Chains A and B, each alone.
Chain A
Amino acid sequence: MPDQLQAAGKAPKRLGMVRLVGQCCSIGPLIDIALFLGIVASLAGAIGPLAVALAAAGMVLFSLVVAFFASETGEPVRLEIISGAPGGRRSVLARWVFM
C-alpha cells in the first residue's frame, strides 16, 4: 500500500518506534487494570497476582517468538509465522481468525 501511494506521490508518513509502541498498547493496559484485573480477582481470588504473573511470563516468552520472526521477515508477523505452521487449512483459518 505505501509503495503504491509513493508511486502516486502521496505516501503516508513512515512509522517510528514511538508509534509502534503506541500500537502495541492498543489493547489499553489501563482498561485491563481498571476492568479485567477485577475479573481476574473474581475468578482467582487471592491468587490473582499469581495468575497475572504466570500470564506475564508466558507472554514475555511469546513476544520473543513473535519478535524473532518479525526480525527475520520484516513482514506482517502473524502471516509469516502461521504460514510456517503445519497444515495449510489451519494456517488460513488462523489468518482469518486473527490476522
Chain B
Amino acid sequence: MISLIFSGAGGFTIAVGELCTRFTALYFEIDVPWWLGAMLLAVGAWWINVRGTSFATGIQFAIVLLSVIPFLMTAIAAVLEAGAANTWAVFAWNNPHGGDLFAALLFSILLFGGFETAGALAEESNKPRRDIPIALVVTVTAAALLLVFCSYAGTIHYGQEAVSKDWGGVMDGYARMAEVLIGPWAALWIRLAVLVDFAATCIGFTLAASKGIFALARAGRLPAPLARTNRHGAPSMASSVVLGCALVVIAGGMFVPAAARFQTLFVSATAQALLLVLVYVMLAAGGLALLLRAPKSQPAWRWIVFPAAMVVPLLALYGTLVPLPGSPEIYGLAAGILALALTGGWVVALKRRGLV
C-alpha cells in the first residue's frame, strides 16, 4: 500500500504537474503552475474513485485503449525506417554498448507493477476464480509484448551508441520519435496520451491503495472509520486519506527547485520499485511454501514456474543495492527503507495489541 502511495497514488503527482506545465507551454503558450495540474489530477482521481469501482475501472480501460495507438504506430514506423539497422544484438548480453543490466532490471520490473492490483477487486467481480487469473495473465503477456517491442524500436531509432544519452536524457523520447517519423500530430497525440494515462495511473493506484486501507481498517488493523463506504460502495474515507497523501506530496513539491521537479519521479519510482520487488520475492516464496505443504498434489509445471518467478525480482534487488545508486535515486532507496522501518514499527504495535 505504501508502494502504491509512493507512486501513482501520491508520489508521481509533482512530475505530473510538471508534465502539464510543459504541455500547455509547448502547445498553448500558457503558463499553468505545476501545482495546479497536480492538484486537479489528485482531486480528479479521488472523485472518480468515490464514484465507485465500476466507474473508475471502465474509464481506465477506455484511456488505455485510446492511448496505445500512437505508441504502436511510432514503434512500427521506427522498425520500418531502420531497415538494415534492425538487429538482435540489442538482446545480447555482451553488446559493447550495453550498460548496467541489473540496475535496469529494477525499472524494467516497475514497467509491469500494478497488474496484481486486480486481486484487490476480487470481492466485487462476477467470477473472481475465473476472471481474475485470466485478466492477470492476458494483461501481463500483452504488456510484455508491447513493452519489449517499444523498447526495441526506441533503441534502434536512437542508435545503439547514442541511446543511453539521447533517449535516457529526455523525458519525451517517444514523442520526439513520433515527431520525426510520423509528424507533429502524432507527437501531440503521444504527449496528450501520456498526460491522460498518468490520470489513469493515479485513478488505478488510488483505487488499489484505498482498498488496501479499507481492508486493513475492516480487519481492525487500522482505525475503524477508515472502513466507511459511501452509497456507491466506495471506501470514501480511505480514498480521502490517499488524496491527503497526494496533497502533502504536492505541498512538499513547493520546496523542490523547478529544475529538479521532474527528478522526483526517479525518487518515487525507486522507492516504489524497491518495495514492489521485495513483495514480489515474498509472494513467490509464499507460493513455494504453499506448494511444499502439499507436494504430491501439485503438477510438475508449478515446481518449475514458482521458483523461476523469484529469479528476476532477486536479480533486480541485487542490481539496486550493488552498487548503491547515485543521486537522486539514492533518496528513493532511503525512502523505501524508511517505509520498511515504519512497517516494522506498525507490526510491533499490532503484536503488542494482540492483533497479529
Contacts and interface: CB of A to CB of B under 8 A. Distances in A.
B266 A97 contact: no
B111 interface: yes
9 contacts: A4-B229, A14-B126, A21-B138, A30-B197, A43-B168, A44-B98, A44-B164, A59-B312, A63-B140
Given A34-B190, A67-B136, A93-B344, A39 B107 contact: yes
B312 A54 contact: yes
Nearest to B140: A63
Given A46-B98, A70-B136, A21 B61 contact: yes
Contacts of A97: 1-3, 275, 278-279, 339-340, 343
B240 interface: no
Given A22-B204, A26-B201, A33-B150, 15 more contacts: A4-B229, A5-B229, A10-B231, A20-B132, A24-B139, A25-B139, A25-B200, A30-B193, A34-B172, A34-B194, A48-B163, A49-B155, A52-B147, A59-B112, A70-B128
Contacts of B145: 56
B205 to A, nearest CB: 6
Interface in B303-356: 305-306, 308-309, 311-313, 315-316, 339-340, 343-344, 346-347, 350-351, 356
B197 A44 contact: no
Given A34-B172, A34-B175, A98-B276, A45 B97 contact: yes
A23 B118 contact: yes
Nearest to A85: B286
